[in-house]
A = this chain, B = another copy of it.
């Protein structure tokens, strides 16, 4: 089956290409980039030199070509305008941006500042977290694949929600690749190396989708506040989701084990050991764990992911596999790389 990658010159686009190069079921036949249109892929991704002989095309050219599936790794706000025509041509779409993640159209006005042009598609779109929506993804035409902060938060929180937590504070720590491939003052190496600082710490956008999904799971309102922090890693996102409920660790263990039973990409840490981003880098794994402290009381769910894999490209391919009816882990079996 043929796949087009839209927005293929950024980091997430590069990861999609990296995965698909060795994927047994898909071929990348189109890769778009505004900046690199007409140029060979290796100019944007020198690590892929010799592995892919494709040239980047513009979005316009790409839309004139044929392919079976489209993966959209575009900046927020760019997918909403091309998705309808792709769907209209019978092309299955996995969108890695935020344009189709929220069910309530008014939230786009509030959090993104624009009116959603296709509220019907919001209803149809499936939130692309297979651990919550596997069956709907199987039947979907349009998957809205979540990003790293939301993925890590939801995976760490879901078993806590099942235990009754309704107010969740997600303290997230992320590496620099999360902000993309465009240089900025905050990502300038001398400034970013060794950094520990919060960003967007009041009303983080991605808490809206985390609340939506966890409320959906609880079948009642769940409030989530995300406080993200930049740290000096390149890859990795780690969520520590705190809730003021009293649950002992053996009960937590059972809740996590039950919730993620049979999941191919979720590994559960044993009591007293914790997830570590170093153990998932380069892979689609999410390592999850927990701790509890009777002194507030407080429980915490932890999730460690590779922000470009389970937090972006890997997760999108996982949904693509499910949509396309191939093995869910196809193309995603490469073990984590460690140490790196």
Contact = CB atoms under 8 A, between A and B. Distances in A.
Interface of A: 11, 14, 18, 21-22, 45-51, 167, 169, 171, 173, 175-177, 181-185, 187-199, 201-204, 207, 211, 223-225, 227, 229, 231-238, 240, 242, 244, 249, 267, 272, 274-283, 285, 291-296, 298, 300, 302, 304, 333-340
Given A198-B291, A275-B197, A335 B203 contact: no
Given A21-B335, A335-B22, A267 B49 contact: yes
Nearest to A309: B337
Residue picked from A189, A236, A267, most chain B C-beta under 10 Å:
A189
A36 to B, nearest CB: 13
B282 A337 contact: yes
Contact of A278 (B167, B194, B334): B194
Contacts of A184: 183
Nearest to A175: B194
A338 B45 contact: yes
B183 A337 contact: no
B197 A276 contact: yes
B183 A339 contact: no
A193 B46 CA distance: 16
A181 to B, nearest CB: 7
A185 B276 CA distance: 14
Given A47-B283, A189-B191, 9 more contacts: A47-B335, A187-B189, A187-B190, A195-B276, A196-B277, A197-B274, A197-B304, A227-B240, A282-B340
* Copies per complex of this chain: 4
B22 A274 contact: no
Contacts of A48: 335-336
A292 B173 CA distance: 18
A44 B292 CA distance: 26
A232 B232 contact: yes
Ranked nearest first, the 6 interchain pairs of A and B with the lowest CB-CB distance are A190-B339, A197-B276, A201-B291, A189-B192, A47-B338, A183-B183
Contacts of A240: 171, 198, 227, 229
A267 to B, nearest CB: 6
29 contacts: A46-B338, A47-B278, A47-B283, A48-B336, A49-B279, A169-B242, A169-B298, A171-B240, A176-B189, A177-B339, A183-B185, A183-B187, A187-B190, A189-B193, A191-B278, A193-B232, A194-B340, A195-B276, A201-B274, A203-B294, A207-B295, A227-B291, A232-B232, A232-B233, A234-B339, A235-B340, A244-B244, A281-B337, A281-B340
Contacts of A272: 202
Contacts of A224: 295
A311 to B, nearest CB: 13
A117 to B, nearest CB: 27
A176 B196 CA distance: 13
Given A177-B339, A339-B177, A234 B189 contact: yes
A25 to B, nearest CB: 16
A85 B306 CA distance: 44
Contact of A176 (B175, B190, B279): B190
Contact of A293 (B190, B203, B281, B296): B203
A304 to B, nearest CB: 7
